[in-house]
Amino acid sequence: MPEKRNKRERFVELGETRVRKAAQFLRLIGNLSNTSNYEYTAEDAQKILTALDNEMKLLKAKFQAGIARRSRDEFKLG
């Protein structure tokens, strides 16, 4: 039976894969700005940017909450 990976190893592996995929999808969304291939309004573009910005805010909040929770758990008096 394969050894069970620790939490850090899983985080690194999944983090690298997911960030790489997210960056690729962001590039693909950016391709939509090419007016030679697509037609859109300023309102359309703003909706896309707002949706992505909202998701980034949620992502940041989750990581900040995790860091804050961890720092409270590590309190020691000596």
Pair 34, 55 in one domain: no
CA–CA gap between residue 39 and residue 49 (Å, rounded): 16
pLDDT score at 5 = 81
Pair 24, 49 in one domain: no
Pair 31, 62 in one domain: no
Structural domain boundaries enclosing 60: 40-78
CA–CA gap between residue 65 and residue 27 (Å, rounded): 28
Pair 44, 78 in one domain: yes
Number of domains within the chain: 2
Residue 9 vs residues 6, 15, 32, 68, 77: alpha-carbon distances, Å? 5, 10, 36, 22, 30
What's the predicted TM-score (pTM) here? 0.78
pLDDT in tens, the chain (78 residues): 566 789 999 999 999 999 999 999 999 999 999 999 999 999 999 999 999 999 999 999 999 998 888 776 666 776
State the burial class of residue 48 (Cβ atoms within 10 Å of its Cβ: 0-12, 13-18, 19+). middle
